[in-house]
Amino acid sequence: MQLNSQSNRFEIAGVDALQIVEKYGTPLFVYDSAKIIAQYKRMTDALTVKQLRINYACKALTNITILKLLKDLGAGLDAVSYQEIKLGLEAGFAAQDIVYTPNSVSIEELEAAMKLGVKINIDNIEMLEYMGINHPKYAFCIRVNPHIMAGGNANISVGHIDSKFGISIHQMPLVERLVDTLKMNIEGVHMHTGSDILDVDVFLYASNILFNVARKFDDLKYIDFGSGFKVKYKPHGIETDIEQFGAEMSKRFNDFCAEMGKDLTLMFEPGKFLVSESGYFFARTNVIKQTTSTVFAGLDTGFNHLIRPMFYGAHHEIMNVSNPTGKPKIYTVVGYICETDTFGWNRKITELKEGDVLCFLNAGAYCFSMASNYNSRYRPAEVLIHEGQDYLIRKRETFEDLIRNQVNPEISFAEKETTMS
């Protein structure tokens, strides 16, 4: 979002932000396709290998139009549920371009996914053994846990020793024994060490562990290094240096292919990196409330629509779109949910009055996809800005949506009359 210095109004890819908000109402999610395209291109430019595949981790933002955009850019899809696979197919992805990376799902769900023909990532030894015995012909990928403690937050650091994800690197002898005995076709190895990796060296250290695993499988076609790419959440925040990372990673991967004597495919599965910064969340200020110690700005939204700040302390920049050049003041921004739902304490925002429109940045990843109907509120509409045009890509919910699946059986709860004799 940019301030147009002539009109003094904020614009998203050249489109007036307040006009979009007037047209569709608040609360509202708006996505800028140009940012997604630019992020995708940054990645593919940075990774200079013969065969590269970026599988978009769609749990970040599952709108079908966003999936189509990424498919048309050449991405594959990373799905973590049967339903995400179905969304991917709906968006037009070929089954073989979808990698299914589930954790703690039933054998029934895995087998249903296999019927659809997607790539399967195996996350535990028991499942590997079961698959080897029951589906000896299917090609599988193995998710390895290299036990690297990385990432900014314990909730999203999934590679360490106590993590529930993947097959421990220490269990590789058992994996090899199963694969050999059952003559399994292992076409890929995978790791996903966690979000918010800033230290390129830590990532490369973990990648060496995965290369060592990869050497053990003759049928190998791809190595999937997961994600962990950090984007800026604050103006002076730090992000993964994708260009430096890409250069070093590509060199190692190319060396590895030379060593193995074949061209493997290098895979990554970013979610946040591709879509976070493309998203803007707009809400209106219902009340300005001064207490003894604090000035609260109360919005027409809450953690039902944007839960990241309350759920894991995430920071989202907040700006007053209605008053771009006003004098800065300090506000604590809260939602309308009947539980404490603070979006940000003591935020410097240009002077606010009731009815002003606020915008949350970085609202593309894990925002709408985590939204709920808590407090029986409708989930917001979603709009895509593409080449100067705005497109509604999800309607705001209505009361019908709230009661659609409720069943109202004919039960009389009224007190029964007792017959007196």
Ligand X SMILES: *Cc1c(COP(=O)(O)O)cnc(C)c1O
Which CB, 76 or 270, lies closer to ligand X? Answer: 270
Q: How many residues does the chain have?
A: 421
CB-count burial class (<10 Å; 0-12, 13-18, 19+) for 72: exposed
Q: Does the active-site annotation cover 338? A: yes
Out of 20, 36, 60, 87, the only residue in the binding site for ligand X (CB under 6 A) is 60
> Tokens in use for 419?
């017959």
| Residue facing ligand X at closest CB distance | 271
* Residue 270 binds ligand X, judged by CB under 6 A: yes
Long-range contacts of 3-10 (CB under 8 A, 24+ apart): 3/324, 3/325, 8/324, 8/325, 9/324, 10/319, 10/321, 10/324, 10/359
Which CB, 192 or 305, lies closer to ligand X? Answer: 192
* 17-25, 132-140, 175-183, 271-279 -> range binding ligand X (CB under 6 A): 271-279
Long-range contacts of 95-98 (CB under 8 A, 24+ apart): 97/55, 97/71, 98/55
Contact pattern for ligand X over residues 135 through 154, marking x by CB under 6 A: --------------------
Give SS3 for 186. strand
Out of 3, 37, 80, 172, the only residue in the binding site for ligand X (CB under 6 A) is 80
- Rounded CA-CA distance 93/99 in Å is 11
Q: Restricting to residues 219-258, name those near ligand X by CB under 6 A.
A: 226-227, 229
* 21-29, 206-214, 263-271, 318-326 -> range binding ligand X (CB under 6 A): 263-271
* Residue 57 binds ligand X, judged by CB under 6 A: yes
CB-count burial class (<10 Å; 0-12, 13-18, 19+) for 16: middle
* 211-219, 264-272, 338-346, 391-399 -> range binding ligand X (CB under 6 A): 264-272
Which CB, 185 or 362, lies closer to ligand X? Answer: 362
* Residue 269 binds ligand X, judged by CB under 6 A: yes
Q: Enumerate binding residues for ligand X (CB under 6 A).
A: 57, 59-60, 78, 80, 101, 192, 195, 226-227, 229, 269-273, 365
